[in-house]
Amino acid sequence: MIHELKIKYHTEDLQKIVKIDKGDWIDLRSAYDEEFKAGDFGLIDLGVSIKIPKGYEAHLVPRSSTFKNYGILQVNSVGIIDESYAGVADVWKMPVYATRDTIIKKNDRICQFRIIEKMHPVIITEVEHMTDDPRGGFGSTGVK
């Protein structure tokens, strides 16, 4: 199934979003030149609003080279953008913390997103005991 993403660009000369054939993630770019000093918090304006299909949400994460190239960390680990965030003022941004002085130029590829089907409804049931065999607790995978 192919889904349509309706995109509004808020910045002139922002390179257009392209879905490449390799991989499932779509790169996003900084809409402006940004300068951060070590210890700064900031919101990198991505210059777009995107209408996500009904029943889906977008997961926004740094590109694999973002920390190496810019020394910034996305402060919420992963950004979740739901289908209702699609109004005229709903511009996508990436909240970051700078670990060193850095400059990000307009059109630098800074993060990526993909759309994911939203969680289906669940029923939460409290139980007295869990019935599965224990795996060993937190941090036990691969430990013998």
The one-letter amino acid at 124: I
End-to-end Cα, the chain, rounded Å: 43
Looking at the DSSP bridge assignments, the partners of residue 28 are: 111
* Active-site pick, 21, 82, 90, 108: 82
User: What's the one-letter identity of residue 139?
Assistant: G
Is the separation of the CB atoms in 117 and 55 below 8 Å? yes
Active site residue 27: no
Phi and psi dihedrals of 68, rounded to 5? -60, -45
Name the residues annotated as catalytic: 82
